[in-house]
A and B are shown apart, each in its own frame.
Chain A
Amino acid sequence: MNEAHKPAPAMQRAFPPGTESVDTFLRVLGIRKDFGEGGQRRNVLSGVDFSIQRGSFVSLLGASGCGKSTLLQIIAGLQQADGGAVELDGQRIEAPPFQMLYLFQQYTKSIFPWRSVKGNIAFGMESRKKWSRREITQRCDELIRLVGLEGYGDYYPRQLSGGMQQRVAIARALACEPDVLLMDEPFSAVDAMTRSSLQDLVLQLWSSLGLTIIFVTHDVAEAVYLSDRIIVLRKSPHNVALDMHIELPYPRDHLLTPEMPAFLQYRHQLFQEIHKAEAAR
């Protein structure tokens, strides 16, 4: 693993919302986005500002239609903003950057049915020309183990369950050694059991690989369980409603963490905030 994958040290430290830190890795500056033309024109993001430290796990939370997925696509360089800018490591993002990978909500469509599990995982590596053929094969095997798909390397996506397909998508992204992972409601389509094991997998990969993760969800409990920081987006105006740090200890546990009084408080507060934002429309 290279330098960027050492666990970041200051992960648990809380920064008061809005404070700029020397550690700032990703900066979202006054992002504005409209959809449609003329009379149909509809604003989805109006002046969204925040910055993120390296190694943090940030959830973007909000009711559907608040523009959180659009914002994530803009951060990924997959969509152009109508105003404002996103900077990664001081560089303005114009197109999808090498250090950043986007995981799609529709993982069934995102992984390629004509490629085996190994072939899918190798997909990103092949086009980066950074690894030899042998290294790619080796890394594929490593990643298959890392995401718990031992023995499934030669299977095709149609032979896998939804949760396993999502593991393939995660392995394929990690194979390219990204610094930032952008996840768009990645677990909204899997059953509850699979979801909790995937959540723990992501948390474990996040801390062991020192990733920075931005995670879009509309599930308050999921956001609190995973994140060290939650940014709530609202609809009127379309910008940041709340930016809070989640000071629950890691590693988190599916039995113990949700029972903590702090967990319940966070959940309570976030629910109220989202309802308030909805009621204000």
Chain B
Amino acid sequence: MRIARLCRTRLVGVLLIVLLAIGWELIVRTGVSTSPSVPPISSIFAEWGRLIVSGVIPNQLGASLYRMFIAYFIASALGVGIGLLMGYFRFVDNLLEPLVELLRPVPTPSYIPIAILLLGLGTEMKVFLIAAATFFPVLLNTYSGVKQVDPVQIDTGRTFCLSSAEILWKIILPATVPQIFTGLRISLGIGLIMVVISEMVAANSGIGYFILQAQRTFEVSQMYAGIFTLGVVGYVLNFIFVRIERKIVHW
């Protein structure tokens, strides 16, 4: 009875994580795995705690999030803006649609060599790569959101004598907000992926750099601590995002 009740709550999922952690610990402790690349999870947690308290992880994380959010905000603003214009104005659609369709399928990491050549190894290069990767989901979701706005809503604006700009601002934009948020949420996940990739390629700070550096210096526990940090950060970011989304898309 009690187990049945437990299965109906999130607690059962938390329990699974605890069990997996215990399993990991046992596999190492009982000698089933003797690989030096798999330390016991308890020592990883201890190392993780030390790295957090000493400020190492917060600093590296700060560097990563700083890059990510600069790029994310630039890409979001451009994606929403261009998506609205492409969705609403036939001319802008005709002008940009072929270009978008050509660029969109290119995996962003393939730009890394060019980005390094043109922008160097610094922040600009990473911001560019992250922005390039997060731009398209926002753009495409905004665009398809505008296309899905009910003609009745637009005609309502017309019968009230609204100008095109007013229709865009007061009808199209709010009507598209739910799809815009879908794009923003997808991009948030992609942003985290891209920041780690760009930091593994060339950086002297950031979580991606930290994980790679830990591997190169055989600090295996630190490597895992970095990955765990990314898991938690991703979860927290999504949690905050969903809260904001619910607040804004309340209807």
Contact = CB atoms under 8 A, between A and B. Distances in A.
Contact of A78 (B159, B166, B170): B159
Contacts of B150: 106, 109
Contacts of A110: 152-153, 156
Contacts, number: 55
A76 interface: yes
Contact of A127 (B160, B175, B177): B160
A63 to B, nearest CB: 23
B171 A104 contact: no
Contacts of A76: 159
| Chain A interface size range | 20 to 34
Contacts of B251: 113-114, 156-158
Contact of B153 (A95, A102, A109): A109
A112 B171 contact: yes
A106 B152 contact: yes
Nearest to A123: B160
A251 B153 CA distance: 34
Interface in A141-167: 156-158
A96 B177 contact: no
Given A114-B251, A127-B166, A156-B251, A109 B152 contact: yes
Contacts of A158: 251
Interface string B132-166: 00000000000000000010110110111110001
Nearest to B159: A102
Contacts of B40: none
5 contacts: A100-B159, A102-B155, A106-B152, A127-B166, A158-B251
Interface of A: 76-78, 95-98, 100-102, 104, 106, 109-110, 112-114, 123-124, 126-128, 156-158, 176
Top 5 nearest A-B pairs (CB, nearest first) are A102-B159, A109-B152, A113-B251, A124-B160, A114-B174
Interface of B: 150, 152-153, 155-156, 158-162, 166, 170-171, 174-175, 177, 250-251
